[in-house]
Amino acid sequence: MTLSVRSAGLALAASLTAVLTGCRVGPQYARPAAPLAPEFKEALPSNFKATDGWKVAQPSDAQLKGDWWTLFHDPELDALEAQIDPANQTLKEAEANFRASRAAIRFYRADKAPTVGTSPSIGAVRNSANQPYFNSALANNGEGAFTLPFDLNYEVDLWGRIRRTITQAKEQAQASAADLETTRLSLHAELAIDYFNLRSADAQRKLLDETVTAFQSALQLTEDRYNGGAAPLSDVTQARTLLQTAQVQATDVDIFRADYEHAIAILIGKPPAQLTLPRNPVTVAGPVIPTIPGVLPSQLLERRPDIAADERRMAAANEQIGIAEAAFYPTLSLSAVAGFTGTSAMNWFTWPSRFFAVGPTLSQTLYDHGRRRATSDIALANYDSTVAVYRQTTLTAFQQVEDNLNALHGLEVEATQQQAATTSARQSLDLFNTRYEGGVDTYLQVITWQTALLQNERNDIDITRRRLEASVLLVKALGGGWDTSQLPQHP
């Protein structure tokens, strides 16, 4: 008999726990499949370290860490990059959005506990003696009423609506954290690209300054030959035109350099007037093209914060489907009110002045003309939309990696070809200078090869810039030094 009573008590307790805990309606989340390839298509450049998977790091390995820009071994770039996190306003905006999404978790988690409130009041009430079906003897003279009520309201999470709302808030917060990292990665990459563009502009300006000096000497030579009757006036005007064109190009380079310097100032949170970077030409002969650790295509899904953000939004949209489905089921609420009501301050808090009311309320919408069904359909459509965005972001990520692998490989070949072309142009110019000074050829040949050499030397610098830029963009396409293990875990 004792055993039966105990068993019945355990069964009742289990049933009560099940009722209070509730079940969870709606689909369980499973990450949808994303388009993947077994390997990258494009040929790998020499500075991209192919891999069959991540291995334990060796001291000599180039690692994609959080401060990935140190791979370029440029102290000035390192100093500028270090100023982005504490000063960039776009990053501060993203960080504030993340803090707001994290606070939203606490907001929705509050629904797991009862809400308690009070509304004390003092007033006078007199019942009308002329009310229908009212005993006039019960009328009063408008005595004062002192009331101190306490209200308690609690929704039992029968179908998982509250739990799913909390989970959704957590997933949205993780998406916001990934958005923050996407912003951080983009800003650091943008600064690196602007910096290398600025250094390339410095190299262009250095080349043009040297060219202007050489063209001034050539102009002096043609003037001397003209004054000596050994050359026509057209040689002088051609030499002067070439000189002036080089001066125009030098001025144009300064305009672009100023724009890059201004952009860098804004990225590190300074007005342009407060930042002046010394000229530091990039070296064509030996640019620092870093060795970038390779990844497998499947690892890209874990390393890109924008992909992670879209995946978390898919999970949040899945929770919204369950929240919409819960609206088709009854809602169980527990409510209670208790307090004291007295006719004066003297008897306000006496035991006879107490009152209370308590009880559950079960509510169910019987007819809403399709409102709940429409809400459910909206949730399903929104989920399908997030799946499409996730898959498109994944495809874009693979495109960006392939584009920059192709660019680095092609530019590596192009750099060798361009250096050979520059050497040939320089030899041709030396040859025709000698022939012109010896009176064998006209000055037109000299001008032609002066122009060709300048163009080839400028191409050398531009290819170097593009290689550095493609290296930055490849690091960005690989997610920098980030991976999904850095997503915040909210208890």
Instruction: Return the H-helix or E-strand segment holding 454.
Output: helix 443-477
User: What is the rounded radius of gyration, in angstroms, for the C-alpha atoms of the chain?
Assistant: 38
Q: Same domain for 135 and 267?
A: no
Contact 77, 192 (CB under 8 A): yes
Q: Same domain for 246 and 394?
A: yes
The predicted pLDDT at position 353 comes to 83
Q: Burial code of 413-444, b = ≥16 C-beta within 10 A, e = fewer? A: eebeebbebbeebeeebeebbeebeeeeebbe
Q: Same domain for 122 and 216?
A: no
Structural domain contains residue 325: yes
Please write the tens of the pLDDT for every residue from 55-75. Answer: 333 333 445 678 899 999 999
The predicted pLDDT at position 11 comes to 42
Domain that holds residue 82: 24-112+157-329+370-486
The predicted pLDDT at position 139 comes to 57
Structural domain contains residue 132: yes
Structural domain contains residue 97: yes
Structural domain contains residue 424: yes
The predicted pLDDT at position 168 comes to 93
Q: Same domain for 218 and 132?
A: no
Contacts of 112 (CB under 8 A, 6+ apart): 157, 162, 166
Q: Same domain for 152 and 227?
A: no
Structural domain contains residue 14: no
Task: Record the pTM.
Answer: 0.86
Total domains present in the chain: 2
The predicted pLDDT at position 18 comes to 46
Q: Same domain for 161 and 148?
A: no
Please write the tens of the pLDDT for every residue from 25-51. Answer: 889 999 998 888 878 887 778 777 655
The last residue of one of the domains, among 363, 388, 407, is: 363
Measured CA to CA, the distance from residue 457 to residue 284 in angstroms comes to 9
Query: Domain with 359 in it: what CATH number?
Result: 2.20.200.10
The last residue of one of the domains, among 363, 379, 407, is: 363
Contact 198, 260 (CB under 8 A): yes
Structural domain contains residue 8: no
The last residue of one of the domains, among 345, 363, 381, is: 363
DSSP three-state, residue 353: helix
Torsions phi, psi for 118 (to 5 deg): -145, 155
Q: Same domain for 97 and 148?
A: no
Q: What is the pLDDT along the chain (491 residues), one digit of tens a residue?
A: 444 444 444 444 444 444 555 578 889 999 998 888 878 887 778 777 655 443 333 333 445 678 899 999 999 999 999 999 999 999 999 999 999 999 999 999 999 889 999 888 887 766 666 666 655 665 565 556 788 888 989 889 889 899 999 999 999 999 999 999 999 999 999 999 999 999 999 999 999 999 999 999 999 999 998 998 888 999 999 999 999 999 999 999 999 999 999 999 999 999 999 999 999 999 887 667 888 877 778 888 889 999 999 999 999 999 999 999 999 999 999 898 988 888 777 888 888 888 888 889 889 989 989 999 999 999 999 999 999 999 999 999 999 999 999 999 999 999 999 999 999 999 999 999 999 888 888 888 999 999 999 999 999 999 999 999 999 999 999 999 888 888 998 77
Q: Same domain for 322 and 359?
A: no
The predicted pLDDT at position 184 comes to 96
Structural domain contains residue 289: yes
Q: Same domain for 126 and 61?
A: no
Query: Parallel, antiparallel, or unpaired for β 331-342 and 144-156?
Result: antiparallel
Q: Same domain for 219 and 272?
A: yes
Q: Same domain for 140 and 119?
A: yes
Structure tokens at 280: 């530091």
Structural domain contains residue 1: no
Q: Same domain for 277 and 136?
A: no
The predicted pLDDT at position 66 comes to 80
Query: Domain with 60 in it: what CATH number?
Result: 1.20.1600.10
